[in-house]
Amino acid sequence: MRKWTELTLIILVSCIVQIAWVEGEDKNAARDQARQSAESRQVQGITNALSAIEKFWPQQPELYFRSMNEVARRTVSGLTNAPDTRQALRAAFTNMIQKTILTNEDETPALRLKRDAILGCLGLDEIRNDTATWLAIAKYIGELRSRIITDYKKKGFANPPGLMGGSPEKVQQIIQKNERNKAIDRLQQELRQTDRILTLFLLHNAGRLVGDADKRKAYIQEIKSLAHLREEEQLQL
């Protein structure tokens, strides 16, 4: 069932409609009509895709973020320039970045895919040039930083000590604990990597969007507070 759902989504977001060029006196009018028809079908296809993607949440977070990234990148690459599509994706981005990953399994893959989806959406001018986008990203960075353990030391082992000579029950306990530690190691590494990448984009983009001095001061202060920026980072805004 999952493979069928993924296939349906791929068909929706991969639909590229070629515009017909016709010969004759009315070729310009016919071309414009064909383009409008193509854009209408593209808008409907991506709107349907976004609706389908939402159904993946929260049971399939990895598929949700991977699909959002796919739609964003295909829109950026020129699948459609229709404003309705881009605005629909803008709304979907706002919804996506607010989602909290809830899983009893290793959440590292979903975190990585969420980061990739955010970066994919930033390819759209409507998203990248919106101050609300950077406030949302700043808030997300702050959430990531609140989970990063200061001076964290790796806990997992390729071959954990205590396996030799132990009872089967003891060995199993050691293996299970080591797997949990390795999951924490991966999570902490991913939190740090996502923090670094998104902070780089934040510092490069957030400060350029507000021209009015008073509004800019308030905006930058909110960015600093939400993202928990360090002093040396604040100087780059």
- Picking from 81, 108, 128, the residue at the C-terminal end of a domain is 128
Q: Are residues 116 and 48 in the same domain?
A: yes
User: Average of pLDDT values for 191-217?
Assistant: 92
In a domain, 176, yes or no: yes
In a domain, 202, yes or no: yes
Is the backbone of residue 119 left (phi > 0), alpha (psi -120 to 50) or beta?
A: alpha
In a domain, 55, yes or no: yes
Q: Are residues 76 and 168 in the same domain?
A: no
Q: Are residues 144 and 62 in the same domain?
A: no
Task: Show the domain range for 105.
Answer: 1-128
- Residue tagged 């990597």 (tokens): 193
Q: Are residues 113 and 80 in the same domain?
A: yes
Q: Are residues 82 and 167 in the same domain?
A: no
In a domain, 133, yes or no: no
| Total number of domains in the chain | 2
Output the average pLDDT for the chain: 82
Three-state secondary structure call for residue 93: helix
In a domain, 134, yes or no: no
Q: Are residues 173 and 75 in the same domain?
A: no
Q: Are residues 174 and 75 in the same domain?
A: no
Please measure the distance between the N-terminal and C-terminal CA atoms of the chain and give it in whole angstroms: 48
Q: Are residues 78 and 157 in the same domain?
A: no
CB 203 within 8 A of CB 233: yes
In a domain, 50, yes or no: yes
Q: Are residues 159 and 65 in the same domain?
A: no
Which run of H or E residues covers position 121?
helix 108-121
Q: Are residues 121 and 180 in the same domain?
A: no
Q: Residue 47: is its pLDDT beyond 70?
A: yes
Q: Are residues 211 and 155 in the same domain?
A: yes
Q: Give the pLDDT band of residue 175 (cuts 50, 70, 90).
A: confident
In a domain, 199, yes or no: yes
Q: Are residues 19 and 104 in the same domain?
A: yes
- Picking from 128, 160, 175, the residue at the C-terminal end of a domain is 128
Between CA 79 and CA 39 the distance in angstroms is 9
Residue with the larger pLDDT of the pair 101 and 42: 101
Q: How long, in residues, is the chain?
A: 237
Q: Give the pLDDT band of residue 102 (cuts 50, 70, 90).
A: confident
Between CA 166 and CA 159 the distance in angstroms is 14
pTM of this structure: 0.79
- Picking from 128, 163, 182, the residue at the C-terminal end of a domain is 128
Q: Residue 93: is its pLDDT beyond 60?
A: yes
Chain segment 187-200, per-residue pLDDT in tens: 999 999 999 999 99
Q: Which of 22-31, 118-127, 178-187 has the lowest mean pLDDT?
A: 22-31
